[in-house]
Amino acid sequence: MAKKIVLAEDEPQIARLIEFKLKKEGYQVTWKENGEEALKAIKADKPDLILLDVMMPVMDGYEVLRRLKEDENLRSIPVVMLTARAQERDVVKGINSGAEDYITKPFHPAELLARVKRILGKPG
Amino acid sequence: MKNKSTKHISISGHLIWLGIGLAALYWILESAMDTFVFQEGTFTERITGASMNEIWMRMLITGIIIIFAVYAQVVVARRKKLEEALRKQAYDLGQRVKELDCLYGISGLVEKRHIPLPEILKSAVNLIASAWQYPEITCARIIVENQIFKTNNFRETIWKQTTKIMVHGKRVGTLEVCYLEERPKSDEGPFLSGERSLINAIAELLEGIIDHKKAEEEIKNLAKFPDENPNPVLRVAQDSSVLYCNRTGLPLLDLWGSALGQPLPGFWRQTINDVLSSSSNRTIEVVLRDRIFSFVIAPVVGRGYINLYGLDITERRKAEEEVARVADDLRRIIETVNAPIIGVDVKGLINEWNQKAADISGYSRDEVLGRNFVEDFVGDDYKASLEEVLGKALKGEETANFEFALNTKDGQLVIVLFNATTRRDASGNIIGVFGIGQDISERKKIEQMKSDFVALASHELRTPLTSIAGYVDLILDGDVGEISKEQREFLEIVSQNTQRLETLINDVLDIEKIESGRVKMRQEKVNLNKIVEDCINTFKVMAESKGLKLQKEIKADRIEVWGDSDRLSQVFSNLLSDAIKYTKEGRVKVTVRTKGRFASVAIEDSGVGMSQQDLSRIFTQFFRSDNSYVRKTTGTGLGLSIAKATIEKHNGDIRVESKLGVGTKFEVILPLLKESKKVD
């Protein structure tokens, strides 16, 4: 069975780009437009990896991350943050809150894929 | 003396025997005459027949004669004694007269006015010998304040009397009297006790003379005072006529149309009368031509005249007026300057609050004076740090450019940038703190808006850029099918330009953050050798691909500085990449060394170099050279600005030397670890 990834990203075009690249590789991707939706999807789907954009409406990425880490059932799911830029503060904040990795925008889709692969291994 | 009195007694003893003899003789004579001359009766009768009455009579007479003789004896003895005493008294009196002559002579010297002390002492010393028992062998010497006065025959011998001369409890000299040769000692020693008292009496007299003369000299000096006084001194009688005027005062008398013996101008009269009747001093000011005099009018009580002590206060008055004018100007500047000025005393209570402070805070001067500044008017978050700043200022340590929030009357907080200055009184004692501020609330707002804008703009730019770059990459990666050679070529141009845009956005963000101080440099030991070598390794390929030699010269082991290794790395990468970029041929050389208390990293190229005009502007933002070769290369024009801002945050400096067509040398200077404080 294909490994499941939940993607939280408020920019549809960027979401589509990521979704395209990961799906093409063989991962199953669920895209949500904001943090709240994403959290629901995560609880329902129990994905293998979560891609979290930091700046999102309704609930931002850090908040989602915090709640995930509070939830015993979801705590162990690896999270990769998508940050606007490698701002040290953001990175430190993300890593301290339990994020697995971070990718800065703009990014090469191939690089993103490589990082996901490093964590999840092969899609299937 | 005892011998003499014994002699008197023996003489009076003989007299008694003489009396008794006389009485016996009288008895015999009387009997014989009765018998042989005036006989009337028988012999027997005559011998024995004297009547009993006669016998009693004769016995009585004989007794009387004996008593008389004894009495005479006593009287003579007493007279002798008296005579002796008298003789002695005469002798003593002679001595006393000699002494008195001497003392009188010396004290007479005091009376002589205008004879200086040395003259007097010279005379006095010659009066001394005559008062002694053996004047012909007596000599004397007076030593007063290291001056010696002595009799011509003075010689110091072992037969010497000495006494101190004291004035007001202080020894001022010595008086000595010597015998030139030995005299038989009496039982009082070589000198009589009277002579010992005498030398003390003379010394006392000399003391009086010295004291008197000194006082006289002082008075004489004092008497010169008014005349030598550079300020006018006058003495004026009740009728305002001038009794005395010193030299300086004479021109004033001229101006007043007065003179010695003449009255002063009319306006003085009332004042003089007032002062005399009140018996207390008064000070008045008199303007004479272009000079201002202050006169103290002092009544001489009981004498009916006054003394006038003048003082030319023209310069002082000018200085006072100047001080007052400056103070007034300052006061007006403080009041009107467009900056809040706040002063507190040593207890932190407000004593200065200018109009601008009132405008900003909404509290008037009257409302705040005497209240505790920090407690009542400073935002809670700033109380502690401001207390610290004020405490330092009260120890004389001034603080520049610190921020605090001022509580306004309507409950707002105004951010004020402050410079605290220690306030001292004329004798240099610290009396408080004076702060000149600047309302930077607006600036803070604008700064915030600017950084918000930059953050927003960069985010808004980054999102489409992410899409463009991402989708182009997808196509270039072949994720959506094969593309032609030309499609690839053109898409790569798109990709390069998105990268350039990304760099630009990052640089703008960077510089905004560094300059606004919102970026915190990390605090760590940085091994400069290592990060420079890492940079060189990174750029080796790039240099070699251009056929350039990349040389390194590291002149010390492990050069360490405090700082943020990533940021410093970024600076060296920037400089190295520029050096390689702008060098067509030759070499790029990196040198790491220490220079005194500093570390130096120099990056030297043999590149195109820069004109003087360019050199002066390279650190300004978005600077691009007009040089065509430089223009052809890509860059945001922010790299050097970021480098400079970063190095300055590390308390260092970037220097540049360049010659057009020869090359450029950038040198980064950083304080060495052990010499430097942590960067902020």
Q: B227-265, pLDDT tens digit by residue? A: 888 888 889 988 888 988 988 888 888 888 888 888 888
Q: Give, for B271, the enclosing helix (H) or strand (E).
A: helix B266-278
Q: Give, for B198, the enclosing helix (H) or strand (E).
A: helix B193-228
- Please indicate whether residue A11 or residue B519 has the higher confidence score (pLDDT): A11
Percent of chain B exceeding pLDDT 90 equals 15
Give CA separation, B335 vs B203, B322, B345, B632, in Å.
75, 20, 19, 58
Most confident option among A19-23, B114-118, B573-577, B612-616: A19-23
Interface check for B497 against chain A (CB to CB < 8 A): the answer is no
DSSP letters for B29-93 = HHHHIIIIIS--S-HHHHHT-S-HHHHHHHHHHHHHHHHHHHHHHHHHHHHHHHHHHHHHHHHHH
Residue with tokens 């000198």: B191
Predicted pLDDT at A3? 92
Alpha-carbon gap, residue B502 to B465, rounded angstroms: 8
Alpha-carbon gap, residue B239 to B249, rounded angstroms: 19
CB contact under 8 A, A14 and B467: yes
Residue B679's pLDDT band (cuts 50, 70, 90):
very low
Percent of chain B exceeding pLDDT 70 equals 89
Q: Which two three-digit tokens encode residue A5?
A: 């990834």
Mean pLDDT value of segment B98-116: 76
| Nearest-by-Cβ selection for A14 from B458, B466, B498 | B466
Q: What backbone phi and psi angles, to 5 degrees, belong to A50?
A: -120, 130
> Would you put residue B51 in left (φ > 0), alpha (ψ -120 to 50) or beta?
beta
Optimal mutation site among B452, B454, B472, B474, interface A, most CBs of chain A within 10 A: B474
Instruction: Give the residue on A whose Cα is nearest the Cα of B501.
Output: A106
- Please indicate whether residue B632 or residue B201 has the higher confidence score (pLDDT): B201
Between strands B663-671 and B598-605, the pairing is: antiparallel
Alpha-carbon gap, residue B442 to B366, rounded angstroms: 27
CB contact under 8 A, A17 and B462: no
Q: Which of A107-121, B75-89, B109-123, B162-176 has the lowest mean pLDDT?
A: B109-123
Q: Which of B26-35, B215-224, B500-509, B538-547 has the lowest mean pLDDT?
A: B26-35
Sign of the dihedral defined by the CA atoms of residues B20, B23, B27, B33, in that order:
positive
CB contact under 8 A, B465 and A85: no
| Nearest-by-Cβ selection for A14 from B458, B470, B477 | B470
- Do B230 and B248 meet the contact criterion of CB atoms below 8 Å apart? yes
> Would you put residue B524 in left (φ > 0), alpha (ψ -120 to 50) or beta?
beta
- Do B379 and B404 meet the contact criterion of CB atoms below 8 Å apart? yes
What does the DSSP 8-state code read for residue B189?
Answer: B
ipTM: 0.87
* Packed helices A88-96 and A61-70: angle between N→C axes, nearest 10 degrees: 20
Contacts of B157 (CB under 8 A, 6+ apart): B178, B179, B180, B181
Mean pLDDT value of segment B510-519: 74
Long-range contacts of range A32-40, CB-CB < 8 Å, 24 or more positions apart?
A: A32/A6, A32/A7, A32/A8, A33/A8, A33/A9, A34/A8, A34/A10, A34/A58, A34/A59, A35/A8, A35/A59, A35/A60, A35/A61, A35/A63, A35/A64, A37/A8, A38/A6, A38/A7, A38/A8, A38/A64, A39/A64, A39/A67, A39/A68
| A101-104 β-sheet, strand order | A28-32, A4-8, A49-53, A79-83, A101-104
Residue with tokens 């060098």: B583
Produce one character per residue of B416-435: b if its CB has 16 or more CB atoms within 10 Å, e if not.
bbbbbebbeeeeeeebbbbb
Residue with tokens 């339990």: A98
The answer to whether residue B6 scores a pLDDT higher than 50 is no
Which residue numbers of A have CB closer than 8 Å to B's CBs? 11, 13-14, 17, 20-21, 24, 55, 84-85, 105-110
Q: What backbone phi and psi angles, to 5 degrees, belong to B116?
A: -70, 160
Q: Which two three-digit tokens encode residue B294?
A: 């202050």
Q: Which two three-digit tokens encode residue B182?
A: 């030995």
Q: What is the 3-state secondary structure (H, E, C) of A21-54?
A: HHHHHCCEEEEECCHHHHHHHHHHHCCCEEEEEC
Q: Which chain B residues are closer than 8 Å to A109 by Cβ? A: 470, 473-474, 477, 479
Q: What backbone phi and psi angles, to 5 degrees, belong to B675?
A: -90, -20
Mean pLDDT value of segment A111-119: 93
Instruction: Give the residue on A whose Cα is nearest the Cα of B460.
Output: A84
CB contact under 8 A, A106 and B498: yes
Residue with tokens 């978005």: B622
Q: Which two three-digit tokens encode residue A91?
A: 């990175």
Which B residues in the span 499-558 are in contact with A, Cβ-Cβ below 8 Å? Answer: 502, 506, 509
Q: Residue B573 burial (CB < 10 Å; 0-12/13-18/19+)? A: middle
Q: How many other C-beta atoms lie within 10 A of the C-beta of residue A15?
A: 19
Alpha-carbon gap, residue B432 to B347, rounded angstroms: 8
Residue B555's pLDDT band (cuts 50, 70, 90):
confident
Predicted pLDDT at B251? 86
| Nearest-by-Cβ selection for B473 from A11, A55, A108 | A108
Kindly report the nearest CA distance between residue A11 and chain B, in angstroms. Answer: 8
CB contact under 8 A, B463 and A21: no
- Do B474 and A17 meet the contact criterion of CB atoms below 8 Å apart? yes
Alpha-carbon gap, residue A91 to A54, rounded angstroms: 11
Mean pLDDT value of segment B110-128: 81
Q: How many other C-beta atoms lie within 10 A of the C-beta of residue B301?
A: 9
| Nearest-by-Cβ selection for B474 from A17, A84, A85 | A17
For the CA atoms of B473, B477, B479, B485, the dihedral, rounded to the nearest 10 degrees, stands at 100
**pLDDT 10s digits, B299-355:** 887 777 888 888 888 998 899 999 999 999 988 988 888 889 999 999 999 999 999
Coarse DSSP helix, strand, coil percentages of chain A, rounded to the nearest 5 percent: 45, 20, 35
Predicted pLDDT at B142? 92
Interface A-B, measured as beta-carbon pairs within 8 A, has a size of: 48
Amino acid at B650: H
| Nearest-by-Cβ selection for B459 from A14, A55, A109 | A55
Residue B678's pLDDT band (cuts 50, 70, 90):
very low
Alpha-carbon gap, residue A44 to B222, rounded angstroms: 115
Q: What is the 3-state secondary structure (H, E, C) of B242-263?
A: EEEECHHHHHHHHHCCCCECCE
Threshold 0.80, pTM exceeds: no
> Would you put residue B132 in left (φ > 0), alpha (ψ -120 to 50) or beta?
beta
Residue B41's pLDDT band (cuts 50, 70, 90):
low
Alpha-carbon gap, residue B340 to B134, rounded angstroms: 98
Residue A44's pLDDT band (cuts 50, 70, 90):
very high
Mean pLDDT value of segment A14-39: 94
Q: Which of B580, B576, B653, B583 is nearest to B619 (CA)?
A: B653
* CA within 13 Å, CB half, B197: 8
Q: How many other C-beta atoms lie within 10 A of the C-beta of residue B337?
A: 13
Predicted pLDDT at B507? 81
Predicted pLDDT at B677? 45
CB contact under 8 A, A105 and B466: yes
Predicted pLDDT at B650? 86
* Packed helices A12-25 and A109-120: angle between N→C axes, nearest 10 degrees: 50
Instruction: Give the residue on B whose Cα is nearest the Cα of A86.
Output: B506
- Please count the residues of chain B: 680
List helix spans (H) across B112-192: 117-128
Mean pLDDT value of segment B99-115: 76
Contacts of B12 (CB under 8 A, 6+ apart): B73, B74, B76, B77
**Average per-residue pLDDT in chain B?**
82
Q: Which of B116, B171, B114 is nearest to B145 (CA)?
A: B171
Kindly report the nearest CA distance between residue A108 and chain B, in angstroms. Answer: 6
